[in-house]
Structure 1
Amino acid sequence: MKVFVAGATGETGRRIVKELVSSNIPVRALVRDLEKARLILPDAAELVVGDVLNPDSLKTAIADSTAILCATGASPSFDPTGPYKVDWEGTKNLVDAGKAKGIEHFVLVTSLCTSQLFHPLNLFWLILVWKKQAEEYLQKSGLTYTIVRPGGLQNDENPYPVVMSAVDTLFDGRIPRTKVAQVCVEALFQPSARNKIVEIIAKAEAPEKNWQELFASLA
């Protein structure tokens, strides 16, 4: 297995790369700024320059990778086209490139509540709408997929157990980005994660379950 990570220098993406490297899984990390990436990402990660908005760069960047983990996301800005470009067009380009390369598994990080049109986050240039469009495009692509919808993302760690639930059943809660990264990597190895949307948060009072139990609970 070799995993291609898009959004590798983002707060969640860098944790995914670190998790893969610590699990001794070969990584190709897509970056736009090579010098910045070298300061952020583990030395063991293979860095490749490209952009999800440039489809031609993706063909070369994916190379011999067998799986894709996509943790891209539009940064908060005054550009109303940001979520459309990054969360929709960029993901679509990546799905198309993955399909052309015969990728075995595509893991996409989106967000809780993507199905809720009137959610306050859509005031940020319809960001959940475009994430939902990307989810549906991946689902219809024919690729084996896992869509991970985390709650509010936290940079700090906490010891709370992960709560995993089926599509459109969690509507609030938070989760450390490191735990999101762990879920994404584990999804590559759990048969019950295939072709599923999983919603995740972390809660102090939740029972401890191993990864197999968490993913199997969605079957």
Structure 2
Amino acid sequence: MNASPTKEAPGRSAEKTPLASVGRVVVLGAGGGVGSAVVTQLAEQGVPVTAVVRDVSRAKDKLPSREGVQVSLGDVTDSASLTSLLQGAGAVIVATGPSSLKNPFGPYNVDYNGNVNVAKAAANAGLKKIVMVSSIGAEDWLFFLNLFWGILIWKRQGEKAIQSSGVDYTIIRPGGLTNEGSQRAPKGGVVAGPANTYGRAPRIKPTGSILRSQVAALAIEALTNPAASNVILEAVTQEGEPERTAAQVLEDLAAGKLPPRGEE
């Protein structure tokens, strides 16, 4: 992998690439909540998708059955399968995570070694873009999620592998993930800040939550929006904030508009 310097996010005047020009998008972790939402939204926009899952029969119930969506068996821990899956694709969205936190080696295998494999395969395949869904707290060793075998420590190492791939990247660190209609569903619009807006101790702002569908929309927008070029962003919903499109969220990020401070 060839290391590439982190670029500054371009301003609002930069020209956005049409989504159709990206080509086929490979979604890793398509059987999960964020991954399946990404596949659904891409399919709704007519983008050809390869939805990569570890169990095809189980995942088909979650994924849209429509033209342009191909469900394929694969695993980020299997570098050979990634080489085949990414061949001829334009971009990859990584929404993977350990299948069980009972396995002490899961975070290392999936969040670190898996993303090392993704970075190498994406570079070798000549992809235009990698979007990785990580987590708020990835640089906070004291974050409670690290009680689960250092999961965020390994996510951060996986982020570094993606950053060093030589492929244009966006790393999205969402807050707590929820679904529409749940009791924990957040209210308000999505806001985003740069790395460590929320996730470092002592935290600048409290962590929050965000819908999986909102994270999916950000991931798709990041495929073509120049404001998302080679950046890490952290995103939550903020009560009282107006609803924004994913494009507007990224424009505000590029303009340096920091999220409002919530209650401590």
Partner of 1:170: 198
Q: Which amino acid aligns with 2:238?
A: K
Q: Which residue matches 1:211?
A: 246
Does residue 36 in structure 1 map to residue 58 in structure 2? yes
Q: Output the CA distance in 1 between the equivalents of 2:53 and 2:152.
A: 24
Alignment CA distance shift 1:13-1:210 (3 Å): closer
Deviation readout 1:60-119 (Å, 9 max, x if unpaired): 122321000000011343211010001111111111111110010000000001110111
Question: What does residue 107 of structure 2 align with?
Answer: 83
Higher helix content, 1 or 2: 1
> Are residues 125 and 95 of structure 1, via their aligned partners in 2, closer, same or farther at CA, if it must alter by over 3 Å?
same
In structure 2, distance between residues paired with 1:39 and 1:212 = 30
User: Could you list the per-position Cα deviations for residues 1-28 of structure 1 after superposition, in whole angstroms to 9, with x for gaps in the alignment?
Assistant: 2100000001111111111111111101
Q: Which of 155, 158, 182 in structure 1 is aligned with 2:217?
A: 182
Question: Does the CA-based 8 Å contact 1:155-1:176 persist in structure 2?
Answer: yes
Q: In 2, distance between residues paired with 1:127 and 1:64?
A: 31
SS of 2:75's partner is coil
1:130-149 CA deviation, whole Å, 9 max, x = no partner? 00001111111111000000
Q: 2:72 aligns with which of 48, 69, 87?
A: 48
Superposed CA RMSD in Å reads: 1.4
SS at structure 1 position matched to 2:60:
helix
Q: TM-score, normalised by structure 2?
A: 0.79
Q: Which residue in the other structure is 2:4 paired with?
A: none
**Structure 1 unaligned spans of 5+:** none
Q: Which residue of 1 aligns with 2:189?
A: 161
Matches within 5 A, 1:55-134: 55-134=79-158
Larger radius of gyration: 2
Task: Say which structure, 1 or 2, has more relative contact order (CA 8 Å, 6+ apart).
Answer: 2
CA–CA distance in structure 2, aligned partners of residues 38 and 115 of structure 1: 35
* TM-score, normalised relative to structure 1: 0.95
Greater CA drift, 84-93 or 55-64: 55-64
- 1:202 matched to 2:237: yes
Q: Is contact 2:50–2:70 with CA below 8 Å preserved after alignment?
A: yes
Contact 1:150 1:174 in 2 (8 A): yes
User: Which residue of the partner structure matches residue 31 of structure 2?
Assistant: 9
Change (3 A) 1:209 1:31: closer
Q: Which residue of 1 aligns with 2:18?
A: none
Percent of aligned pairs sharing the same letter: 38
Q: Bigger CA drift: 2-11 or 208-217? A: 208-217
**CA deviation after TM superposition for structure 1 residue 153, in Å:** 0.4
| Equivalent AA in structure 1 for residue 59 of structure 2 | A
Unaligned runs of 5+ in 2: 1-22, 200-206, 255-264
Shift in Å, 1:166: 1.1
Match of 2:45 in 1: 23
Which residue in 2 is equivalent to 1:193? 228
1:218 is aligned with what amino acid? L
